[in-house]
Amino acid sequence: MAANLKSIDAPTAAGMQASGALLVDVREDSEYATAHIAGSELIPLSRFEARELPVADGQAVVYFCASGNRTRVHAARLAAKAGAADAYVMEGGINAWAQAGLPIE
């Protein structure tokens, strides 16, 4: 994992989202349509560089995918996109979120 991307678990990510962190789903449109975390921002890896990250000054960013594999493989891209923001990766992705009993739409 890139030095400025910290790993967190799903319950921690949920708490951070409740405190104002931006959750960024890097899965593709079809995956997001099937199930997603309410309030998360969809920025698929296939179009990642073309999209701006809608992060406010001082806002933390939490990236996630389906299982955590894509976020691990693309950690450098994710860290670069976060810039100066505190950036995190949710281990286990949306699958871990669901296993923790957190709501999915």
What integer pLDDT is reported at residue 2 of this predicted model?
A: 45
What CATH class has 5-99?
alpha beta
Domain map of the chain by residue range?
Answer: 5-99
Q: Is 65 a catalytic residue?
A: yes
**pTM value?**
0.94
What integer pLDDT is reported at residue 1 of this predicted model?
A: 45
DSSP result, 24-82 = EE-S-HHHHHH---TTPEE--GGGTTTS-----TT--EEEE-SSSHHHHHTHHHHHHHH
State the 10-residue block means of pLDDT for the chain, 105 residues long.
Answer: 78 98 98 97 95 93 97 93 94 98 97
List the catalytic residue out of 16, 62, 65, 89: 65
